Amino acid sequence: MKLILTAEVTGLGAPGDVVEVKDGYGRNYLVPQGFAMRATKGAEKQVASIKRAREVREVRDTAHAREIKTQLEALSVKLPTRAGSAGRLFGSVTVADVVAAVKAAGGPILDKRTVELGAPIKTLGTHQVVVRIQGDVSAKVALEVTPA
């Protein structure tokens, strides 16, 4: 099945890429979740607009990506959340919480899809969060979860 990606899919491609996937994967997951659309003649125009939008948001080059990496790794990111007396959180820290905390700490505005938490964060303390900036350039951000 030939599809055009409308969102970044890890291991498959970026928005605007035309990919060939198995029928079940495309029909049952990618299309219903809004990650892709069928590749038709009319969709070619949408590919051009998706690629233009991606170029505006995309990191210019590897040097710019490394600059963003050093900026992120130098940040002191604190996230105040509600927690019990034993240090366990009421709920867990989400990717949106991390993006907001980085922005509040004076860092760049991040796309939620580039932040990887690994395991769910459910305790107070310092945790490592990985931010994929470009291709092989990723930054490790130290996130300090504190009681509110």
More confident residue, 129 or 40: 129
Q: Which domain holds residue 124?
A: 62-147
Residue 60, pLDDT score:
62
* pLDDT higher than 70, residue 9: yes
Task: Assess whether 50 and 11 both reside in one domain.
Answer: yes
- Number of domains the chain is built from: 2
Are 131 and 141 in contact, with CB atoms under 8 Å apart?
A: yes
Task: Assess whether 33 and 74 both reside in one domain.
Answer: no
Query: What amino acid is encoded at 86 in this protein?
Result: A
φ/ψ of 2, rounded to 5, equals -100, 125
Domain end marker among 19, 37, 57 = 57
Domain end marker among 57, 75, 90 = 57
Residue 57, pLDDT score:
57
CA–CA separation, 31 and 86 (whole Å): 43
Task: Assess whether 136 and 84 both reside in one domain.
Answer: yes
Residue 59, pLDDT score:
57
Dump pLDDT digits (tens) for 79-114: 999 999 888 999 999 999 999 999 999 888 888 888
Dump pLDDT digits (tens) for 21-69: 999 999 999 999 999 989 887 787 777 777 776 665 555 677 788 888 8
Residue 58, pLDDT score:
59
Q: What is the CATH number of the domain that holds 94?
A: 3.10.430.100
Residue 109, pLDDT score:
85
More confident residue, 138 or 62: 138
Residues 6+ apart with CB under 8 A from 14: 5, 8, 54
Are 94 and 122 in contact, with CB atoms under 8 Å apart?
A: no
